[in-house]
């Protein structure tokens, strides 16, 4: 195919190592940064084809390995509304990344064109960005070659957070339509979110400063610029772990994943009672909050706590606005603490559903709800308003100043939320706005329910593909009889719950357990892990 004439030539600059194999998984391609060059080149080709398959809409490419070690890197595609790549294309990505020669690569590209009925005369448009990893510039150059090979119109956003790139993609594809999302620039991003934040908090008592652990990643400089753009005493930040220059520091003993996994403060922060803390991950699409009480005991406010805070606030605002039949629902994964699920069902009386791990699964479930709040326990999440909900807001007829105020606040909340993907900065502003409006300390927020003790273990197995699950990954269907063994163990512990699932990002299986006491929880976790070997 003439369209692929330059592919072989440019591909020769980014050869694939013999025998290397790649898989487009939950988080795109992710592995050691210095083994990814051929893959990122090919993602450039794929992004161009994806854009052509969408009649020239802009597709995003983000080069990042998020919370993983600095030596790792990764790459993923962003679809036109700023959402994760449509799942049916993941197999195309994997096949193209694994083509062994230039001839095979061209044949694989032609097969995608054929399968998807792509008109290759359409002008492809792609925007891209990367995080602060040292392998980023080289991979970016490989991406640019891939885009050039197919003549894509390509624009770099430089070093930005993953959710910022998702935002730009959505803005570019909705410009001039009724769904216009904002200015596709960094300044536009900051103006949109800080503007909505300030509309919500205006006139409330000022909060104490917020301490932010930026994981020594791109979130550091970006949140500093966000606070400067807000230029308001409502957003006073103290930045920690914001060194993006010294090699080896990214995500090292800090960041949202470290804090959530270890249930302790990151390096470099000495927690003081009464202060409020949060951690971003390396590409700033996750956030967790925490604080210490007067005995200096550590308390984590994870994705479940954020989700219940936000769902409660939205539910109360909808009621105060007097809007009927506008249901707020919550999407969780199996990792959600059992106490949070009971709290949502029994106290908040809101519908809750479980989705498989990975943002795309939660996002799709949330899209089915009028107002869908979704968070993974690890701190990745956002809120979606579907078109029926937006219509209801638009046609709401307030009967009192209080109802009018509630409707105004619902609009401001919608503007404050990055609907394309979970976003540490937008989620931070959301949490801050709610805490300011309620006049709450982290301890008051935390008081809604008490987490059950939980334990997450990683078990390296011979072949993780033997582990198959159903029921949003809560039940194993293979290997045979393993689920029965787990059920027998779980039944021994009050409020016990456990599940085993294959990781989507590592060659291992994960074991999660919770129970009424720490001792029971640990015993359950280790005995379930024992059945997996």
Q: DSSP string covering 257-307, please?
A: HHHHHHTSPPTT----TT-EEEEE-TTSS-EEEEEE-TT--EEEE-HHHHH
State the CB neighbour count (10 A cutoff) for residue 439: 10
Choose one: 181-189, 429-437, 497-505, 517-525; the region binding ligand 16G (CB under 6 A).
Answer: 497-505
- Note whether 505 binds ligand 16G by CB under 6 A: yes
Q: Which does 504 bind (CB under 5 to 8 A by kind): Zn ion, ligand 16G, none?
A: ligand 16G
Using CA atoms of 317, 234, 378, 128 in order, give the dihedral in degrees to the nearest 10.
100
Using the rule CB under 6 A, is 251 a contact of ligand 16G? no
Catalytic-role residue among 11, 38, 66, 426: 66
Is 501 assigned to a binding site? yes
Q: Length of the chain in residues, anyone? A: 533
Q: Report which of 495, 492, 485 is spatially closest to residue 511, judged by C-alpha positions.
A: 485
**Is 26 a binder of ligand 16G (CB under 6 A)?**
yes
Q: Does 483 bind Zn ion (CB under 5 A)?
A: no
**Helix axes 424-438 and 186-201, enclosed angle (nearest 10):** 10
- Only segment of 12-20, 103-111, 276-284, 355-363 that touches ligand 16G (CB under 6 A): 355-363
Q: Given the complex with Zn ion, which of 25 and 329 has the nearer CB atom?
A: 25
Any binding-site annotation on 502? yes
Q: Which residue, 376 or 451, has its beta carbon nearer to ligand 16G? A: 376
Task: Kindly state whether residue 331 participates in binding ligand 16G, applying the rule CB under 6 A.
Answer: no
Q: State the minimum distance, in angstroms, from the CB of residue 64 to Zn ion.
A: 7
Query: Which range binds ligand 16G by CB under 6 A, 38-46, 143-151, 373-381, 511-519?
Result: 373-381
* Pure H helices in 354-398: 359-367, 387-395
CB of 457 to ligand 16G, least distance (A): 12
Which residues, at least 6 apart from 214, have a Cβ–Cβ distance to it below 8 Å?
A: 220, 223, 239, 240, 241, 242, 255, 280, 284
Residues 45 to 74: which contact Zn ion by CB under 5 A? 66
Q: Which stretch binds ligand 16G (CB under 6 A): 11-19, 42-50, 372-380, 409-417?
A: 372-380
Q: Residue 359 interacts with ligand 16G (CB under 6 A)? A: yes
Find residue 63's DSSP bridge partners: 75, 130
**Gyration radius of the chain over CA positions:** 23
332 binds Zn ion (CB under 5 A): no
Q: Which is nearer to ligand 16G, 42 or 380 (CB)?
A: 380
Print the SS3 string covering 187-254.
Answer: HHHHHHHHHHHHHHHCCCCCCCCEEEECCCCCHHHHHHHHHHHHCCCCCCEEEECCCCCCCCCCCCCC
Check whether 377 is labelled as a binding-site residue: yes
Q: Decide which of ligand 16G, Zn ion, none touches 505; Cβ closer than 5 to 8 Å per partner kind.
A: ligand 16G
Minimum CB separation of residue 303 from ligand 16G in Å reads: 9
Binding segment toward ligand 16G, per CB under 6 A, in 113-121, 211-219, 341-349, 352-360:
352-360
- Taking CB under 6 A as the rule, does residue 358 contact ligand 16G? yes
CB of 359 to ligand 16G, least distance (A): 4
From residue 271 to residue 300, the character string flagging contacts with Zn ion as x (rule: CB under 5 A) and all else as - is: ----------x-x-x---------------
Q: Which residues, listed in sequence order, are joined to residue 526 by a DSSP beta bridge?
A: none
**66 part of the active site:** yes
Distances, alpha carbon 173 to alpha carbons 75, 126, 128, in Å? 21, 11, 14
- The end-to-end CA distance of the chain, in Å, is 50
Got the DSSP string for 25-75? BTTBEEEEGGG-HHHHHHHHHHHHHHHHHTTT-EEEEEE--TTS-TTEEEE
The residues assigned a catalytic role are: 66
Q: What residues are designated binding site for substrate?
A: 376-378, 501-505, 510
Residues that bind Zn ion (CB under 5 A): 66, 281, 283, 285
Q: What residues are designated binding site?
A: 66, 281, 283, 285, 376-378, 501-505, 510
Residues that bind ligand 16G (CB under 6 A): 26-27, 357-359, 376, 378, 380, 503-506, 510
């Amino acid at each position: 195919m003439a369209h692929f004439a330059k592919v072989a030539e440019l591909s020769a600059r980014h050869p694939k190592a013999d025998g290397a194999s790649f898989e487009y998984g939950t988080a795109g391609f992710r592995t050691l940064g210095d083994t990814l060059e051929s893959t990122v080149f090919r993602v450039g080709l794929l992004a161009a084809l994806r854009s052509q398959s969408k009649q020239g809409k802009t597709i995003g490419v983000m080069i990042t390995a998020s919370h993983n070690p600095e030596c790792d890197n990764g790459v993923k595609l962003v679809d036109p509304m700023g959402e994760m790549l449509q799942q049916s294309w993941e197999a195309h990505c994997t096949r193209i990344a694994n083509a062994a020669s230039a001839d095979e690569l061209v044949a694989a590209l032609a097969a995608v064109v054929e399968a998807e009925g792509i008109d290759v005369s359409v002008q492809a448009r792609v925007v891209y960005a990367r995080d602060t990893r040292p392998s980023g510039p080289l991979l970016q150059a490989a991406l640019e070659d891939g885009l050039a090979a197919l003549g894509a119109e390509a624009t770099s956003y430089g070093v930005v957070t993953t959710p910022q790139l998702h935002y730009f993609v959505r803005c570019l594809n909705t410009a001039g339509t009724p769904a216009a999302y904002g200015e596709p620039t960094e300044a536009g991003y900051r103006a949109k979110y800080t503007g909505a934040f300030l509309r919500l908090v205006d006139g409330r008592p000022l909060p104490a400063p917020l301490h932010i652990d930026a994981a020594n990643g791109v979130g550091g400089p970006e949140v500093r610029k966000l606070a400067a753009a807000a230029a308001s005493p409502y957003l006073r930040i103290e930045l920690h772990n914001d060194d993006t220059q010294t090699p080896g520091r990214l995500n090292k003993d800090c960041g949202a994943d470290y804090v959530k996994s270890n249930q302790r403060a990151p390096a470099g922060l000495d927690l003081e009672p009464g202060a409020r803390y949060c951690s971003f991950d390396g590409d700033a699409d996750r956030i967790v909050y925490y604080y210490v009480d007067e005995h200096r005991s550590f308390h984590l406010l994870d994705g479940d706590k954020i989700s219940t805070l936000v769902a409660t606030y939205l539910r109360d605002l909808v009621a105060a606005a007097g809007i009927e039949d506008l249901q707020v629902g919550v999407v969780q994964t199996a990792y959600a603490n059992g106490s949070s699920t009971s709290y949502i069902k029994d106290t908040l009386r809101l519908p809750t559903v479980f989705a498989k791990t990975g943002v795309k699964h939660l996002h799709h479930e949330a899209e089915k709800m009028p107002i869908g709040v979704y968070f993974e326990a690890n701190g990745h999440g956002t809120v979606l308003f579907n078109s029926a909900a937006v219509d209801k807001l638009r046609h709401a007829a307030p009967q009192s100043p209080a109802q009018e105020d509630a409707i105004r606040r619902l609009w401001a909340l919608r503007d404050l939320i990055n609907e394309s993907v979970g976003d540490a900065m937008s989620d931070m502003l959301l949490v801050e706005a709610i805490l300011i409006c309620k006049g709450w300390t982290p301890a008051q927020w935390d008081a809604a329910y008490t987490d059950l003790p939980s334990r997450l273990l990683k078990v390296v197995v011979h072949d993780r593909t033997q582990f198959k699950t159903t029921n949003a990954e809560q039940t194993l269907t293979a290997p045979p009889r393993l689920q029965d063994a787990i059920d027998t163990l779980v039944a021994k512990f009050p409020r016990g719950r456990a599940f085993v699932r294959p990781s989507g990002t590592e060659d291992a299986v994960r074991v999660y357990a919770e129970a009424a006491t720490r001792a029971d929880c640990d015993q359950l976790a280790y005995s379930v892990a024992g059945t997996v070997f």
